[in-house]
Every structure is written in structure tokens, then in C-alpha cells.
Amino acid sequence: MSNQAQSNTTLIVSSSPHIYDTESIPRIMWTVILSLIPAGIAGIFTFGYYCLYIVFLSVISSVITEIFMVLLRKQPVMNTIRDGSAVVTGILLAYTLPPSVSWYVPVVGSFFAIAIVKHAFGGLGNNIWNPALAARAFLQVAYPAVINSDWRVLQHGVGNLVQSITKVDPEGKLVDAITRATPLAKEAGVETYRLVQLFVGNVPGCIGETSVIALLFGGAYLIYKRYIHWYVPVCYIATVFFMALILPPRIVTPWANNPFYHIFAGGLFLGAFFMATDMVTSPLTKPGLVIFAVGTGVLTALIRFYSGYPEGVCYSILLMNTATPLIDRFTKPRLYGARVKKG
């Protein structure tokens, strides 16, 4: 190289990172939204079009609250809205709600998720708990009668009728529906569902949690895109499977120690693929993620077996979210060249 060429060459020195990726927060968030669509379609087919209304209310309320909080904090509005995080929160919250819930429940829950759980802690990337799950836990306490009642599926979506009723939906249209107990109900003499019903989603439950095959399809797409680590949902589900085999049940039911029934029923797959894998509220290291997933599985099984609450996914993930800073502290990699203190 000539002296003149060398003099025209500029060496730029900057701080890290020096390697950039084409992936971005908006691309990841909108991909997650895409992967959640199959579960939403399954919910609409099983529970009716009112579910779409609940999802719409939840998403719109989340976005409006996001805009309000961003303006209140004097931050750029368009960048925050464009990233899609508020839409993801709205969808996930709606998916954890009963299909016949009143309109104000997703509105209140969305405000709590965005304003209190997310922005009160500094916005995206600073929240301690998963916003959708924290809002679901809040709604469970605020509206227990609304959240825990009126489990139903449409007549075309069930095979064996238990109790046929005619209900009037909020739009004034008559809806032929069937009231049935949820798969994890602990009352004596409740209905036990076939595994194929649980896998397809032909059971009562929350809007986006019942169809295992739809959630598997969306979760597999996120793993393919490398947006989530495969071992997190696998360790979570495998732990619940193992615990269901060995734990003595407090209330004996036909499915009490059926591990396949436990992993297919309730919101386990929704939580394992879309909530336990949250980048913000889960540990940073691989050992930490494994500890997080196993701990969540243990807590889920213990809540299901020994509490009065039939489901354990929501509270187990929130508890492990709380433990995430501690997990990160004890699993952080040692700095290259640093000495390890003995004793």
C-alpha cells in the first residue's frame, strides 16, 4: 500500500459492541405476535367470536396505555409503539382470560400490565415480572367471581354434552353453549377429558391456552427463528411431567398422577413457550435458564397438587421472575483471567 493510500485510511475506534445483528426488538415482537395467531384461531373456533372481541379490547387498551405512559414520561411515541411489545402484552393477557369474561376485565388488566408492571419500573427491559401474567394475577384477586365462573364451549366444539344452556352474549345474540368443568378442576366427580381433546383444544379453559397443537406450532416457529431457547420449555414441561408421576395427590382424581394429562391441561404450553421464555424477566445464562425452567415446573406441580387453586403456571412463573436476579448472580460466568476466591 502506498504512503498516499495509507494517509487516506481512517482507523475508527469505538466502544463495544463491534458485531451487529439484523434482528431487532420490533422484528422479534411481531414474530411473536405471528406465532400466537394459531392459538387465537383455535380459541375462536372453540369458544366463539366473542374471544376476538376480548383480544381486540386487550390489545387496544394496552396500546393506548402505552401511548399515555410514553407521553407522560416524555419519550418518543412512535419508536415505542412500533416495537410491538404492547401488542404482545395485550394478546398474552387476553389469552389467559376466560372466553366469556366481561369487557372491562381486559381493559383494567391491560392498564395494570402496561402502566404498573411495565412503565412503573422503567419501561421495556426494566420490568421485574411478566406484565401479562402479573395483570392476570391482579385480575384474579380483583375479580375472582368473574374470572373463575362461566366456563363454556360452543356446542359445535364438543362431543359429549354435559349441560346444555342458552346464553345471551354481550351483543344480545343467543349463543348455544355448554357449561363444563375445566380439565384441572379438583371437585369430586368432575369430568375427565381424553388426551386427544386436550391436545386439540376441545375443552373449556382460557382463550389461548387450550389447544396444545396450536401452541406447539407457534412455539416451534419461535425456536426455529432462534428467538427462544428450546431447553426452557422442554425442561419446564419435563419437570411437570416427572413431578406428576411421583407426587402423592391431596385430592384423588382419575388424572391425578397422569403426567400426560397434566402437561396437556391448563396453560402449561402457553406459559412454557411464550412466558417462561420472556427475554426480560428470565435469567441471562444457560444454567440460569435451566434452573428457572426446572424451578417453574416444580412450583407449578406443587400448586396444582397441594393448593386450592387448580392451575399453577401463572404464579410459578411470577415467583421465578422474582428470583431471576438471584439466579443471575449465582450463574454469571467468571471473567477471563479473574481469580476465584477460595473458602
Q: What is the pLDDT, as a whole number, of residue 175?
A: 45
Find which of 77-91, 169-183, 237-251, 286-300 is predicted with most confidence, using mean pLDDT: 286-300
On whether the CB atoms of residues 178 and 162 are closer than 8 A, the answer is: yes
Residue with cell 431471576: 324
* 178 bridge partner residues: 153, 164
Return all residues near 325 (Cβ < 8 A) that are at least 6 apart. none
H-helix or E-strand spanning residue 178: strand 174-179
Determine the pLDDT at residue 122.
87
For the chain, how far is it from start to end, CA to CA, in angstroms? Answer: 57
Partners of 153 in the beta sheet? 178
Q: What is the pLDDT of residue 325?
A: 94
State what percent of residues in the chain have pLDDT above 90: 55
Higher pLDDT, 109 or 48: 109
Supply the pTM of this predicted model: 0.84
Contact 57, 107 (CB under 8 A): yes
Q: Which tens digit of pLDDT belongs to each residue from 261-281?
A: 999 998 999 999 999 999 999
**Distances 226 to 214, 220, 232, 238, 313 between C-alpha atoms, Å:** 19, 10, 12, 21, 24
What does the alpha-carbon distance between residue 68 and residue 80 come to, in Å, rounded to a whole number? 11
| Backbone torsions φ then ψ of 318, nearest 5 degrees | -65, -40
**What pLDDT band is residue 320 in, cutting at 50, 70 and 90?**
very high
Q: How far apart are CA 165 and CA 152, in angstroms?
A: 10
Structure confidence at residue 327 (pLDDT): 94
- Encode pLDDT of 130-172 as tens digits: 999 999 999 999 998 888 766 666 654 433 323 333 344 444 3
Which long-range contacts link 239-243 to residues 24+ away (Cβ below 8 Å)? 239/293, 239/294, 239/296, 239/297, 239/298, 239/300, 239/301, 240/268, 240/297, 240/300, 240/301, 243/297, 243/298, 243/301, 243/302, 243/305
- C-alpha dihedral (308, 312, 318, 321), degrees to nearest 10: 130
pLDDT at 71 over 70: yes
DSSP-assigned letters across all residues of 19-79: ---S--HHHHHHHHHHHHHHHHHHHHHHH-THHHHHHHHHHHHHHHHHHHHHHHTT--HHH
Residue 212, Cβ neighbours under 10 Å: how many?
Answer: 21
How high is the pLDDT of residue 310? 82
Listed range (19-23, 251-255, 298-302) with the worst mean pLDDT: 19-23
Question: How far lies 308's CA from each of 89, 118, 204, 217, 311, in Å?
Answer: 28, 29, 19, 32, 9
CA angle 220, 240, 201 (to 5 degrees): 55
